[in-house]
Amino acid sequence: MLSGPMRIAIAKKLVSAVGGSELQARLLAAHLAQRGHDVTLAGMRPPWDRPGTADRDGFDLRLVPSRGGRAGAALDALLPVALADEGALAEALAGHDVIHCIAREWAAPLERAARRGGAAFVETPLVHPGQRFSGGAAGDLARYRRDDAVIALTEWEATWYRERGVERAHVTGVGPAVLPLPPADPDPATILFVGRKERYKGYHALRRAAPLVWAERPDARFVAIGQRAWHDRFSRGRADPRWVEPGVVDERAKAEAYRRATVLAMPSDHETFGHTYLEAWAMGRPVIAGDIPPLREVVREGIDGLHAANEPRAIARAVLRIIDDPAGARRMGEAGRVRLLERFTWPVIAERTERVYLAALSVVRR
């Protein structure tokens, strides 16, 4: 067992400031560094510009090339493959006590590097049971059983692993990724979506719910922030000025959108946690989450948000319930903010993760 700072490598294929798991890796690295650890964030040398990729916040940054150069990097970024240059990756990870793989990316070469170097191998799989390439395949489960620690974000997820023979499953939760702004009253009847504009996240159903909402509240305004899915790039958007599509925005614009929103709506079919709910709570806003087990654990029905199936009528009902009751919306948003401050700040998450690393090291060195 270590008595001093740990040498920690956190690995995520893409390490920009765009995307939930990418920000998760960066913020975890930064807060572990603040706790005095020697932290490296390892990722792929990207094939195209991505905001914030080169940023450092107290940690070392190692960008590793892919086999096949720029073309290999593009395939690595878009497909569930592992094309990292293993020699360069092993060099970037050498000498660390812990190697932490986030989102199963490069899991095989990362595990090999950890075993060769005598490091503890920790994984945050971010499984989406039932979804393609979700992390529930036989090979994935066999690796989780070998891992020195598996980090789940909810108790539901940890139970999912344990039921499949994964003995060393731990729960840390996750923190928000939003700039703090002074409090302000929300705009009336403004519904915000933040995330990849994928069908499973409820984006398409929210678009179809908008006319149902406008039938009763023609003043309602929808704002959808995030990157479009690659297969959705050529589809026609909604031709209505009350539906606004800013695309990918900077952190200040995102925070301002939360502050102006009445409610965040991301009724996902598949999530491990849904960090955007935390971002909304940070601004005191209620949320509409998907009606699935992990999100029923994160969001408390009628207390800090509502749940809705990923279909237009259910979403429209939830939206109308919130925007038609401003006092109730304020109460739910404030309850969410209190829950965030009590359980899901990054200093708390970093401390929980540190304890997982120590447990993993005890497995390696016993």
Structural contact between residues 92 and 11, judged by C-beta atoms closer than 8 angstroms: no
Residue 64: its H or E element: strand 60-64
Q: Which structural domains are found in the chain, ordered by start?
A: 7-175+345-365 (3.40.50.2000), 190-343 (3.40.50.2000)
The percent of the chain in helix, strand and coil, each rounded to the nearest 5, is 40, 20, 40
Least confident of 65-74, 203-212, 254-263, 325-334: 65-74
Q: How far is CA 273 from CA 33, 60, 74, 109, 173, in A?
A: 24, 27, 28, 26, 8
Query: What percent of the chain has pLDDT above 70?
Result: 97
Helix 326-343 vs helix 275-282: angle between axes, to the nearest 10 degrees? 110
Strand pairing partners for 256? none
CB atoms within 10 A of CB 336: 27
The answer, yes or no, to whether residue 247 has pLDDT greater than 90, is: no
Structural contact between residues 298 and 274, judged by C-beta atoms closer than 8 angstroms: yes
Q: What is the pLDDT of residue 52?
A: 78
Say what the alpha-carbon torsion angle 217, 278, 331, 261 is, to the nearest 10 degrees: -30
Instruction: Annotate 269-281 with b (16+ C-beta within 10 A) or e (fewer).
Output: bbbbbbbbbbbbb
Residue that wins the pLDDT comparison between 366 and 36: 36
Query: Which pTM does this prediction carry?
Result: 0.92
Which H, E and C letters describe 304-327, residue by residue? CEEEECCCHHHHHHHHHHHHCCHH
The model's confidence at residue 237, banded by pLDDT at 50, 70 and 90, is low
Q: What is the pLDDT of residue 235?
A: 57
Classify residue 111 by burial, with Cβ atoms within 10 Å: 0-12, 13-18, 19+.
Answer: middle
Q: Can you tell me which residue has the tokens 């940054």?
A: 61
Q: What is the pLDDT of residue 20?
A: 80
Say how far apart CA 129 and CA 120 lie, in whole Å: 26
Say how far apart CA 269 and CA 205 lie, in whole Å: 11
Query: What percent of the chain has pLDDT above 90?
Result: 75
Q: What is the pLDDT of residue 232?
A: 61
Q: What is the pLDDT of residue 1?
A: 47
**Which residues are within 8 A (CB) of 32 and not within 5 positions of it... i.e. 6 or more apart?**
8, 10, 39, 59, 350, 353, 354
Q: For 345-365, write each residue's pLDDT tens digit.
A: 999 999 999 999 999 999 998
The pLDDT of 121-129, averaged and rounded, is 95
Structure tokens of 320?
């109308």
Instruction: Annotate 337-357 with b (16+ C-beta within 10 A) or e (fewer).
Output: bebbeeebbbebbbeebbebb
Structural contact between residues 297 and 189, judged by C-beta atoms closer than 8 angstroms: no
Q: For 5-59, write each residue's pLDDT tens digit.
A: 999 999 999 888 777 888 899 999 999 999 999 999 999 898 888 777 888 889 9
Q: What is the mean pLDDT of the chain?
A: 92
Residue that wins the pLDDT comparison between 170 and 251: 170
Phi then psi for residue 112, to 5 deg, are -60, -40
Q: Can you tell me which residue has the tokens 């990418």?
A: 22
Q: What is the pLDDT of residue 17?
A: 76
Q: For 196-233, write each residue's pLDDT tens digit.
A: 899 999 999 999 999 999 999 999 999 999 887 755 65
The model's confidence at residue 302, banded by pLDDT at 50, 70 and 90, is very high
